[in-house]
Amino acid sequence: MKKESFAKKRMYPVVFMLLVTVAFISVTTVIYTFTKDTIKLNERLRLKQAVLYAGGTGLSSDPVEIEKAFDDRVEEIKDDSGRVRYYTIREEGTADIESYVVIQTGAGLWGEITAGVGFDRDLDSFRGLEIIDQNETPGLGGRIDEAWFKEQFMGKQPPLSSVPEGDPASENQFQAITGASYSTEAIQNIVNAAREYARTEIQGTE
């Protein structure tokens, strides 16, 4: 076997790897830079949509409508550091508060679940629930993002507990997801924690 020179044997692979790395990182950086703003806008729009949905406004998912409704009717109540504590949604065309929305994060099965939870103005019943971010098992726990599951929270009264899927639920109960007890429990904790938070944060200050 021919003996390879030091440069060919040791240096070439290092230089080659370096060049390939630089080339690919440059390409991904360019693509990232071009799409960065779109991604941010998407995330912001998603949050606005979630607040309006959880607030029980019954708006469609049309982006233009959402932007307009959010600008007209929603106010972000912030603390001193600029963090949003909760959202207030006004009735259309009036100054009366229709509902409050709290963004609540809790532990799910694989990762955190972030949800928007809406309350009526007296905080004594739920206006809606929207899942903003979740990593539950698709097809099982992932079903917390299905419409039938989220819609059932409208008008329910805290504290909530669950009944098996398909069973009739009273005003303090919601239907669990079969095969996803942990995710169901996670949602139960989130909606009840959101209600506690709302009571101290919203009623405590007004």
Partner 1 sequence: MKGYKVKKVFLEDLGVNNPVFIQVLGICSTLAVTNVLKNTVVMSVGLIFVTALSNVTVSWLRNIMPSRIRMMVETLIIASYVIIVDIVLKAYMPEVSRQLGPYVGLIITNCIIMGRAEAFALSNPPGLSFIDGIASGIGYSYVLVVIAIVRELMGSGSIWGYHILGDWWTNWSIMVMAPGAFFTLAIFIWVVKGIMYKREEGRSS
Site for partner 1, rule CB under 8 A: 12-13, 16-17, 20-21, 24-25, 27-28, 31-32, 35, 38-39, 42-43, 46, 133-135, 137-140, 142, 145, 178-179
Minimum distance from residue 60 beta carbon to partner 1 (Å): 14
Minimum distance from residue 166 beta carbon to partner 1 (Å): 9
Minimum distance from residue 134 beta carbon to partner 1 (Å): 8
Q: Toward partner 1, which CB reaches closer, 137 or 162?
A: 137
Would you say 53 and 59 are in contact if contact means Cβ atoms under 8 Å apart?
yes
Q: Toward partner 1, which CB reaches closer, 13 or 159?
A: 13
Q: Toward partner 1, which CB reaches closer, 182 or 197?
A: 182
Minimum distance from residue 123 beta carbon to partner 1 (Å): 29
Q: Toward partner 1, which CB reaches closer, 50 or 194?
A: 50
Largest CA-CA distance found in the chain, in angstroms, rounded = 87
Q: Toward partner 1, which CB reaches closer, 39 or 107?
A: 39
DSSP H/E element including 195: helix 181-198
Minimum distance from residue 24 beta carbon to partner 1 (Å): 4
Taking residue 71's Cβ as centre, other Cβ atoms within 10 Å add up to: 9
What would the DSSP string read from start to end of 39-93? HHHHHHHHHHHHHHHHTT----S-HHHHHHHHHHHEEEEE-TTS-EEEEEEEPTT
